[in-house]
Structure 1
Amino acid sequence: MDLLRTDLRDDLDLSEHRILDADAYDTPWEHGSPHAAWRLMRALPAPYEGHTPDGVRIWSVTAFPDVVRVLRDTRRFGSEYGTILDVRHGDPAGGHTINLTDPPRHRALRVPTSKAMTTQALRRLGPTVRANVDRMIAPLLEPGVHDAAEHFLALAMAAMGPVIRIPEDMWPLIARAAMAGVAPSDTAYTDGDVGETLHFAHVELFGYLRETVAERRRKPGDDLISLLLTVEVEGRKLSDDDILLNCYSFLMGANTTTPHVATQLLHLLAARHDLGKRVLLGEDRPATVVEEALRWATPTNHLMRRVTEPVTLHGVDLEPGELVCAWVASANRDAAVFDDPYTFDPGRRPNPHIAFGVGAHICVGALSARTVIRLALDRIRERVTGLELAGEVRHLRSNFINGITSLPLEVRA
C-alpha cells in the first residue's frame, strides 16, 4: 500500500472497494487507496458489513475509539479463533500461543516472556544489538544505489537474534520465511503456488526451531527459549510444541513488522525532499520521529477478533461466532484523534498511535522494535546527506502487513 497516495475522494462507492482482498494491496486501486475507503467507513454510524472473496462475513471497525474498544475487550472479542483475515476459518495454533490466547491464560504466557524483552534485558544486550544494526545497514550507508528493503529485511533479528539466541547466519532465512508465511502470494517471496510457499516457509522455521528447542533442553541459558522451558500454564509446563509455536509467533511478529516501518520511513524521506532534509539534519528528536514512523507505517493493517458473547456495536447486535476486523491502520489516521493525520509530522506530540496494538495483547516486542528502528535512524542521520528514489517501489501483496518488497534508493553520504 503506497502511503504517499492522497486520493481521499468523498464520492467513492464503498461496495467497489476490495478492503478484505489481499491481492488488492500491492497494485493501484481503481477506486482509491484503502485509506480512502477507511476514511469513509469511519464516518458510518455503524460497523461496516463486508464479505471476503470466499463469502465469509466480516464486520469492520475503523474509528479509533471502536478499534480500541474491540482490542481491549478480550472477554467479548476473543483472539483464540484467529487474529488475521487469512485464518478466518480458524487458526490451528489457537489457545497455544501468546497472541492466540486471552486472559487469564494469556497472562501466564505474557508475564514471564515479557521479562526477556524489558528495558533491563535490552540494556544488557545493548552493545550487541547496536553492533548488529551497524553491521546490517552498513552497506546501505555507502554512496550509490541500494535496495533498502533488502537491507532492512532482517532488521528485527538485530534484537530478536540475541534475545532468542539464534546465530546470525540464520537471520536472512528466518526473515524471508516469515514474510513468505504472511504474504505467500507475493512474487518477492512465493516459491511455487501459495500452498507450496506456505509449506516450505513453515518447514524452514519449524524445522530450525524444533532443533533449537531440543538443544536448549540439553543446555539452557538466559535466552527466551530457555525461559519458556520454565513457564507453567494452569499448573503444567509448556510442551515442546507449545514452545515451538510461541517462538514461531515471536519471530513472525517481529520480522513482518519492524523492517517495514524503517523501509516506509526511508521511502517517505526520499520522496519528499523537504521532509528528508529536516529529518536527516536532526531537527527533531529521534524518539518522536520513530513514533511518527510507527503511526505512519502502521505495519499491521488489521487485527481480527471473534465475538464470544452477545455484544452491541453502535446499534448492531453481534452474536457469538461473528468475526470483527479492527483496522489499526485506519484508527491511526482518525482525524478525531490526530491533527492533520495524512501528514507525516516528525515532531508530532502527543502521538497516541496504536501501531503495536492496545490492551492485554499489546505487542510484547514493542521495545525491541523501537530500539532497532531508532539505532538505524541514528546511523543514517550520521552518514547520509540525501536520498533519492532510484527505481520502481514495489508494495507487499497483503491485507495484513503494510510492507515494501523493493525500495531502490540513491544514497548520498
Structure 2
Amino acid sequence: MSALAEKWDLDRQRYFWMYGESGSSERVVFDETTGIWNVYGHAEALHVANSPHIFSSDTGRLIPERREFDEGSITQLDPPRHTALRKLITHAFTPRAIDELEPRVHAIVQDLLDRVTDRAGFDLIADFAYPLPVTVIAELLGIPASDHDLLNGWVDRMMSTTTEFSLGERDVSVDNAVADAMEQVRHITDYLREHVKDRRSHPREDLLTALVQAEVDGQRLTENEVANFANVMLVAGHVTTTLLISNTVLCLDAHPEADRAVRQDRTAVPTLLEESLRYLTPIACMVRVTTAATDVGGVTIGPDQMVAVWLSTANRDKRVFSDPYTFDPARELNPHIAFGRGVHFCIGAALARREGRIAMNALFDRFPALRCDPDNPPAFMTNPNLNGVTRLPVVG
C-alpha cells in the first residue's frame, strides 16, 4: 500500500493502483460495463504508445461529441498530420529555448512566493503551483495575464467530473458530464479563436501568431485548427506541471525522511521529480482506438476498440520497478512513462521538469518546514483520469 494513500485514506476504487489492485496478474483486461480495454502493464503500455498505426489517437471515431474539437488537436491526430503540426512548435521547447525562458521562470517563482512568505499558511495550488506554469505557457502563446482566472475556471470545471466514461449503455449522468465538459472546452476554444482572429491582422512575437502564419502542405491552418491546437498547449502546458509541483509536495509530506534527505542534498531534486512523476503520475491514463485486430500482452483486441492505457499502474509494474510502492527520491532505475512515449511524448516535458526543479528549490529555500496543513486537508481531484489535488493548504 502507498503511504500517501494511507495517510489521506484515499478511496480504494478510485485509487486502485495505490493499493496494489492494478490487475497485476492480468495486464490486459476488458471491462464489460464500459466496453473499454484496460492496459495495466509497463511493457504493454509501451507497445500501445509505440504503435500509432494500430492504436490511433483519433478517439473521436468512437466519441462523436468531441469531433468539433479534434481538428488541429495534436493529441487526437496520427502521423503524418500529427508530425507536421507538432513540428510547428518544436522550436519553443528546444533546450536553448528553455534556457532562455529560465530567468523568466525564476522571476515568476520569486514574485509568487513573495506574496505568501509572510503568511501563516497558503494554498499551494491557487497561490503557486497553478499560476506559475499557466503564466509561462500563456506568455508563450500571447494570452494576457488578466484572463488567467477566467481560463482556470473553465479548466477546473472541465476536469471536475466524477463520472467514468463508458462506451456501453450510458445513463443521464454520463451524458450530462460529457456535455458539460465539452461546453467548457467550447468556452476555451471560442476565447482562443478571438485571439486567432486578432493575430491575423495584428501579428505579434508569440506562438499564436506562429500558428496563424504557419503552412502545412502549402495551406494555412484554419481558425478552428489553431484554436484547438492552442487549447491543447494551454491545458496540457499547465495542468501536468501544476500537478507535478503539488504532487511532489504531497509525496514529501507523506515521507518526511525523504523530505529531509532532499533538503540536505539538492542534487537529488531532479530524481525527486522523476520519482514523484512515477509514484503519483499526474495523467492517470491515455486512450487509443484500434485500427485493426491486434495482440497486446497475449490478448487479442479487435478493430475499433477503445483502449485505456493506465500510466499509473504501468509506473508501478514490479517487472520494471523494484519496490514499486516505495517512494524513493534516489531511485536510479526509473523508466516511468508519466509523459507518455512514442510520437505523442509530451513536447513540453523538458519545460515541465525545469519549472518543477526551479519551483521545488525555491520552496525549499523559503520554507524550511513546508508541510500539509494538518487542520485543513487537501482536496483530491475527482476526475478519474487525473491524479492530484485541487486545493493544497500548506504551512511552513
Identify whether the pair has TM-score above 0.5, normalized to the shorter chain: yes
**CA deviations over 1:118-175 (Å, ceiling 9, x no partner):** 2222222322222122223433444512121222223322321221122222223323
Letter matched to residue 116 of structure 1: A
Identify if the C-alpha distance between structure 1 residues 36 and 368 changes in structure 2 by more than 3 Å, giving closer, same or farther: closer
Question: Cα RMSD (Å) of the superposition?
Answer: 2.7
SS of residue in 1 equivalent to 2:275: helix
The answer to whether the 8 Å contact 2:14/2:384 transfers is no
1:288 matched to 2:266: no
Q: 1:102 aligns with which of 60, 78, 84?
A: 78
The CA deviation at 1:185 is 5.1
Q: Distance in 1 between matches of 2:179 and 2:88?
A: 35
Farther off after superposition, 387-396 or 30-39:
30-39
1:325 matched to 2:308: yes
**CA deviations over 1:157-205 (Å, ceiling 9, x no partner):** 232122112222222332332232222459xxxxxx7478546633542
Identify if the C-alpha distance between structure 1 residues 63 and 276 changes in structure 2 by more than 3 Å, giving closer, same or farther: same
The CA deviation at 1:307 is 0.4
Q: Distance in 2 between matches of 1:378 and 1:30?
A: 33
Q: Distance in 2 between matches of 1:230 and 1:351?
A: 40
The CA deviation at 1:40 is 4.4
**CA deviations over 1:209-260 (Å, ceiling 9, x no partner):** 1221122112223321111123333432110110000001111112322111
Q: Distance in 1 between matches of 2:360 and 2:66?
A: 36
Letter matched to residue 58 of structure 2: E
1:42 matched to 2:18: no
The answer to whether the 8 Å contact 1:178/1:255 transfers is no
Aligned to 2:360: 377
SS of residue in 2 equivalent to 1:115: helix
Q: 1:135 aligns with which of 111, 130, 136?
A: 111
Counterparts of 1:20-35 in structure 2, within 5 Å, are 28-29=10-11, 33-35=15-17
Identify if the C-alpha distance between structure 1 residues 3 and 58 changes in structure 2 by more than 3 Å, giving closer, same or farther: farther
Counterparts of 1:154-173 in structure 2, within 5 Å, are 154-173=131-150
Q: Mind listing any 5+ residue stretches in structure 1 that lack a counterpart?
A: 8-25, 187-192
Q: 2:243 aligns with which of 257, 260, 264?
A: 260
Identify if the C-alpha distance between structure 1 residues 199 and 42 changes in structure 2 by more than 3 Å, giving closer, same or farther: closer
SS of residue in 1 equivalent to 2:93: coil
The answer to whether the 8 Å contact 2:91/2:97 transfers is yes
The CA deviation at 1:379 is 0.6
Aligned to 2:52: 74
Identify if the C-alpha distance between structure 1 residues 354 and 90 changes in structure 2 by more than 3 Å, giving closer, same or farther: farther
Identify if the C-alpha distance between structure 1 residues 56 and 234 changes in structure 2 by more than 3 Å, giving closer, same or farther: farther
TM-score, normalising length: structure 1: 0.84
SS of residue in 2 equivalent to 1:261: helix
Aligned to 1:16: none
The answer to whether the 8 Å contact 1:67/1:328 transfers is yes
The answer to whether the 8 Å contact 1:77/1:305 transfers is yes
Letter matched to residue 384 of structure 2: N
Q: 1:401 aligns with which of 374, 379, 386?
A: 386
Identify if the C-alpha distance between structure 1 residues 327 and 82 changes in structure 2 by more than 3 Å, giving closer, same or farther: farther
1:91 matched to 2:66: yes
The answer to whether the 8 Å contact 1:79/1:101 transfers is yes
Q: Distance in 2 between matches of 1:299 and 1:3?
A: 17
**CA deviations over 1:345-399 (Å, ceiling 9, x no partner):** 1122232111110000001111221121111111111111102332222110011
Identify if the C-alpha distance between structure 1 residues 168 and 106 changes in structure 2 by more than 3 Å, giving closer, same or farther: same
The CA deviation at 1:42 is 2.7
The answer to whether the 8 Å contact 2:371/2:395 transfers is yes
**CA deviations over 1:268-318 (Å, ceiling 9, x no partner):** 222332222222333543222222222222100000110001212234322
SS of residue in 2 equivalent to 1:304: strand
The answer to whether the 8 Å contact 1:256/1:401 transfers is no
**CA deviations over 1:1-38 (Å, ceiling 9, x no partner):** x871269xxxxxxxxxxxxxxxxxx9843568411576
SS of residue in 2 equivalent to 1:397: coil
The answer to whether the 8 Å contact 1:79/1:99 transfers is yes
Aligned to 1:12: none
Letter matched to residue 101 of structure 1: L
The answer to whether the 8 Å contact 1:129/1:158 transfers is no
Counterparts of 1:148-187 in structure 2, within 5 Å, are 148-151=124-127, 152-184=129-161
Q: Distance in 1 between matches of 2:292 and 2:361?
A: 47
Identify if the C-alpha distance between structure 1 residues 145 and 196 changes in structure 2 by more than 3 Å, giving closer, same or farther: farther
Identify if the C-alpha distance between structure 1 residues 91 and 144 changes in structure 2 by more than 3 Å, giving closer, same or farther: same
Q: % of aligned pairs identical?
A: 27
